[in-house]
Structure 1
Amino acid sequence: MSLFLSRLTLSNAPSVAALKRLIDPEERGRAQDAHHRLLWSAFAGDPDAPRDFLWRAEGNGVFFVLSRRRPTDSPFFRPPEVKEFAPALAPGDRLDFVLRANATRTRKTGEMTASGKERRKHDDVVMHAIRDLPKGERAEARMGAAEAAGRAWLDGQGSRSGFGVERAEVSDYSVVALPDHRGPRKRQPQFGVLDLSGMIRIEDPVLFIDSMAQGFGRAKSFGHGLMMIRRATLP
């Protein structure tokens, strides 16, 4: 399986600058939706191809992309900076990481689908952790819950993906609402976003790289799930 890690930077051409408020809006939900559509312009060879890339916005028009195909030239981006992603990993290797993820837990609903399967719902792990608190106490408890629930979620990802968690911190937790919703505001689609960093220990290199290619968590189309790694600096 070939993988490519690319750095894509918005073009500074006047024709692109004129569209900046559309392709790189300030409001976060709109930005994630616009960036999702924008990045397709670098992978537009087959209009029927499924999304086979993960991406992460770094700000200032810079994106990192992990893909199974090389990105192509796009009028919206400078020529892509691309390298093959094939890290030489061995069990016991330690890596520093950063990860922006929509972390959820799956629960059964008791409802059945037309095909006879039980419906499942994906709950944000932080909202689930504070759901029983009075509404007036949730804001104060949210970051503490994010630290605990984020670490537990990452431990679960590691057990299925060939790594153990040595250290993990949550630098931010936020809730993002998707734009263009019509109807009652309380039904507007939204999801939680955890920004995690720390150190992991590789246990199964092949499984880990395969899991990296799949991404971690949900809402991957909107810039979540791409784990960025580098060799850990050990004392």
Structure 2
Amino acid sequence: MTAPMYLSEVSVTGLDMDSPHFVLSMMDGKQYKQHQWLWHLFQSETERKFLYREKTGAQQTSPGVYQRSNLPSFYVLSTVAPQAHLKYVTVKTKSFSPSLSKGRRLFFHLRANPVVRKKRDGYKHSQKCDVLMDAKRQVSGSEPAWPAMEASAKSWLVAQGEKKGFAPDLNSLAVQQYQQHLLPKKGAPKPITFSSVDYQGLLAVTDPELFVAELGKGFGSAKAFGCGLMLIRRA
């Protein structure tokens, strides 16, 4: 039986604009800071039991001034209901227990870090490899790289679905917003690097119980950096 889950919208609403350091730490791809901050909503938990993705980014209008409508906000899927302990945070939470049947079609949106493990020269063990960059390296210099990268990204999602109870509709599947992220981390000799891709389209549920369980676990890697949460709604 799948553990209870909660889907929340977490918004910054009452921040003191004279102290913008909180916003700065979560702007412009600071996913590591976002993850650390969101964990404060689960003070009793010692392990991460949530997935998240950012809805909007804060925008600076002038030095030290931010538009309130553009302050950070997030979707959070968790096994424990988050609690707002700070006055400038609003949390709206509802139970997430989709009742699905085999063959059910859903609209979905997923921000994922699509990687595969491959053996690389100089490494004893297989290494995580960005599937889009791997596809790009295999394209000759005279050919456009994106068609191969897009096809590789779609193949990765199809493979995920085969193992996790869903089948994306390739006619509607769109691969968008491919980004490479480089995040400096204090005390680390090298920055954290990962890529993200936004997928959206239709899917068919092939194994309802498995699919719901995998929604709670997330898809792909880099879950601590805002990847892996699939949002679904009725088609």
Change (3 A) 1:231 1:17: farther
Which runs of structure 2 are paired with 1:202-213 in the superposition (5 Å)?
Answer: 202-213=205-216
Instruction: Name the % identity.
Output: 34
Q: CA deviation at 1:188?
A: 4.0
**In 1, Cα distance between equivalents of 2:196 and 2:98:** 27
Which runs of structure 2 are paired with 1:131-170 in the superposition (5 Å)?
Answer: 131-133=137-139, 140-141=144-145, 143-166=146-169, 167-170=172-175
Match of 1:115 in 2: none
Q: CA deviation at 1:11?
A: 3.0
**In 2, Cα distance between equivalents of 1:206 and 1:56:** 23
Q: Out of 4, 7, 11, which is 2:6 matched to?
A: 4
Note if 1:13 corresponds to 2:15: yes
Note if 1:64 corresponds to 2:75: yes
Structure 1 residue ranges without an equivalent (≥5) = 113-117
Give the superposed CA RMSD.
Answer: 2.5
Give the conservation status (yes or no) of the 8 Å contact 1:111–1:119.
Answer: no
Give the conservation status (yes or no) of the 8 Å contact 1:174–1:192.
Answer: yes
Match of 1:45 in 2: 44
Which piece of structure 1 moves more, 75-84 or 199-208?
75-84
Count matched residues: 217
Match of 2:128 in 1: 122
**In 1, Cα distance between equivalents of 2:21 and 2:219:** 32
Higher helix proportion: 1
Give the conservation status (yes or no) of the 8 Å contact 1:16–1:76.
Answer: no
Note if 1:85 corresponds to 2:82: no
CA displacement, residues 74-108 of structure 1 (integer Å, 9 cap, x when unaligned): 31653310001001100010000000000001124
Q: CA deviation at 1:132?
A: 3.1
TM-score, structure 1 as length reference: 0.83
CA displacement, residues 153-185 of structure 1 (integer Å, 9 cap, x when unaligned): 00000000111111311121111111237798x
**In 2, Cα distance between equivalents of 1:230 and 1:106:** 31
**In 2, Cα distance between equivalents of 1:83 and 1:183:** 38
Alignment-mate amino acid for residue 5 of structure 2: L
Structure 2 residue ranges without an equivalent (≥5) = 57-69
Alignment-mate amino acid for residue 33 of structure 2: A
TM-score, structure 2 as length reference: 0.83
